[in-house]
Amino acid sequence: MPLTPHTTAPNNSLISHPTSPSTIHDNSTSSQSTEPSPTNSNTSLTSPQPTSAPRDTPQIQTHDNSNSSQSIEPSPTNSNTSLTSPQPTSTSAPRDTPPLEHMSTASSELLRPITRSMHNIHKPNKKYMLVTKHPLPLSHEPTCVSQAMASPEWRAAMAAEFNALIQQGTWDLVPKNSAYNLIGCKWVFRVKRHPNGSIDRYKARLVAKGFHQRPGLDYDQTFSPVIKPSTVRLVLTLAIQQRWHIRQLDVNNAFLHGKLLETVYMQQPPGFVHPDYPDHVCRLKKSLYGLKQAPRAWFNTLRSFLLSYGFLNSKSDPSLFIYLKGDLKIYTLVYVDDILITGNNDQAIHKCISTLATVFSIKDLGSIHFFLGVEVIPTSQGLFLSQHKYIRDLLDRTKMADAKIVHSPMSTSTSLTQHNGASSVNITEYRSMIGSLQYLSMTRPDIAYTVNKLAQFMQHPSSIHFTALKRLLRYLKATIFHGLHLKRSSSNTLYAFSDADWAGNRDDYTSTSAHVTFYGGNPISWKSFKQKAVARSSTEAEYRALASASAEVLWLSSLLSELHVSVPTVPTIYCDNLGATYLTVNPVSHSRMKHIAIDIHFVRDHVHNNNIRVQHVSTKDQLADCLTKPLSRQRHQELRFKIGVSDGTPILRGRVKAT
């Protein structure tokens, strides 16, 4: 049917889609009507009325840029309908055929490919797909949030930590401001284990990225004391002698109890962003793990409570708190969130723990059994301190579990220097192993000298040094069940052995000093270190070592005095050098010793005031000899036993019943 005279065809450019030639689109945003009208044959573009058509006749849709909807159907009886734009040949097509893409020629736009980013569609990350399909074994610790989310155990640990943070009121959500020094945060995952290596629980901890903090802006003082290992061994010895019960406590989310003095802003935790305030940030009200001032804030909070309860803070060790009231004695030792408490009245200790639990979230672990990575095993004679699990893990990590064993930590025929051997070794691995061995020497004084010697080459280790390090690991494999045996004794004397290896260092000819201190027959402290100055004689080297041993003995005497423990005799320091022994009481050899006047007067004054006593001992009976140089197998094993290191295989296998 021809168009009416007053009707003009719309100026549309119709583009035929190659896959669907029967459908044509323009840039109209209005709806389209395809319902035919069977009665009206006068079709007008201003008010389109399409004529009826058979159901199998294809429809041709045209759209202009107006706001009206148009539908034109060809009449089966009239083929003279004309349009300004030519109509493509109509062919049949399925009803579900997609509409044709179109573009206005006036805009002269080209067809562009449709990408995923245009429709906010992202390709799945194969790394995360692998995590979802193959989650980590529960014995492994996740390294990222996506790995943890694949395990219900780790998800539960994260939720428990987050809920604890919310209950403690750790932060408030505030709008983000560009003026804030915003720090990040991350999740850290740890598998807590029993002493036998089995899994205890899964721990997820939210840690702030303290390295984003700025000094003077969101932190100031950061130092926080921890209990000294010597203090721990001394208190354990006193408890053994008095047959006191030693209780162990753990503070849940300890750092959350610390009060912040500075204003710190942090991002919301990954995986726990508030759905209503996704752009807000956390304004911390309490300290959080990872903050530079967090340990200090927690310690000050705990210290304030203990002082209000009636404890006295030790001046010799700030992490030791002493409660004295009449005959009642209670000792509390604090290492961050790990607490040991012992005394002569179990009922008073229980009351103290109950009061502590009303202020902090306390977990009572019962009798001491695993403290700072050291397994504490009660025996018929006292306590056995072992790190055999730590040694086993170290051997597995360094792939030395199947190595051949040796019976001394260091060869007597090898002289280690800065320049021997090739330097093609893994420096990071060498330093990591040295750090692990330094921690192990907390219960193994027999390896103190070897670790100190190998640590001197961490800057440029060579293949010779690495071989010596592996020998030490082989020795640890042979003595994996050795540990420190603290035995019950009626003696409460304090004494020490001091020794030096004159000019033993072949690089700069400095000497090595060493001392080991005993109380009640048990080793309390030991040290092996390189002297800072070159000694002109063996007497000078021995005297410098004697000054260091005197300082340690005087510190322990002060600590015992604060604990209200009396020492019946003057502490004695045994030295195998006659010249050094004479110098402590007589001003001899002044011309050769005047350059060490400070050390001379320090020791001599305390000897004169009867605070210490220096006595000569033969080299054969010098117990500190194993801390100054490598020894033969027989000599090393002899001194190892005398300084308290013994084989704990029967104890660890349960052959000795605890009393």
Token output for 28? 């109209």
Q: Which pLDDT band, with edges at 50, 70 and 90, does 654 fall under?
A: low
- Report pLDDT digits (tens) over 318-362: 999 999 999 999 999 999 999 999 999 999 999 999 999 999 999
Query: For residues 25 and 588, which has the higher predicted lDDT (pLDDT)?
Result: 588
Strand partners, 647: 482
Q: Are 559 and 313 in contact, with CB atoms under 8 Å apart?
A: no
Lowest mean pLDDT among 80-84, 234-238, 289-293, 510-514: 80-84
Structure tokens at 383: 């306590």
- The domains found in the chain, sorted by start residue, are 1-123 (no CATH), 145-372 (no CATH), 489-628 (3.30.420.10)
So what's the pLDDT on residue 447?
Answer: 97
**For residues 529 and 198, which has the higher predicted lDDT (pLDDT)?**
529
Phi-psi domain of 382 (left: phi exceeds 0; alpha: psi -120 through 50; beta: other): left
pLDDT digits (tens, 9 = 90+) for 458-472: 989 999 999 999 999
- Report DSSP letters for 280-320, one per residue: -EEEEEE--TT-TTHHHHHHHHHHHHHHHHT-EE-SS-TTE
* Mean pLDDT lowest among 223-237, 463-477, 638-652: 638-652
Report the pLDDT value the prediction gives residue 188, as an integer from 0 to 100.
Answer: 94
Mapping DSSP onto H, E and C, the string for 143-202 reads CCHHHHHCCHHHHHHHHHHHHHHHHCCCEEEECCCCCCCEECEEEEEEEEECCCCCEEEE
Query: Looking at residue 528, what is its pLDDT?
Result: 97
Average pLDDT over every residue of 512-519:
97
On the question of pLDDT at 77 being above 80, the answer is no
Tens-place pLDDT, residues 257-303? 998 999 999 999 999 999 999 999 999 999 999 999 999 999 999 99
Cβ-based neighbour number of residue 478 at 10 Å: 15
pLDDT tops 80 at residue 116: no
Going across the sheet that includes 572-575, the strands are 522-530, 512-519, 494-501, 572-575, 613-616
The lowest-confidence range among 185-199, 242-256, 331-345 is 185-199
CB 310 within 8 A of CB 351: no
Rounded-to-integer distance, Cα 532 and Cα 542, Å: 13
| Candidate from 204-218, 466-480, 576-590 with smallest mean pLDDT | 576-590
DSSP state of 20: B
Q: At residue 489, what are phi and psi to the nearest 5 degrees?
A: -150, 150
pLDDT band at 601 (very low <50, low <70, confident <90, very high): confident
Average pLDDT, the chain: 83
Bridge partner residues of 204 (DSSP)? 189
Backbone angles phi and psi of 597, in degrees to 5:
-60, -35
Confidence of residue 140 (pLDDT cuts 50, 70, 90): confident
Q: Residue 57 — very low, low, confident or very high, per pLDDT cuts 50/70/90? A: very low
- Specify the higher pLDDT residue, 84 or 401: 401
Of 252, 243, 195, 234, the residue nearest 333 (C-alpha) = 234
pTM (predicted TM-score): 0.76
Rounded Cα distance, 526 and 549, in Å: 9
CA atoms within 13 A on the CB side of 212: 15
For residue 415, name the pLDDT band (cuts at 50, 70, 90).
confident
Contacts of 459 (CB under 8 A, 6+ apart): none
- pLDDT at res. 426: 87
| Per-residue model confidence as pLDDT tens digits over 88-108 | 444 444 444 444 444 444 444
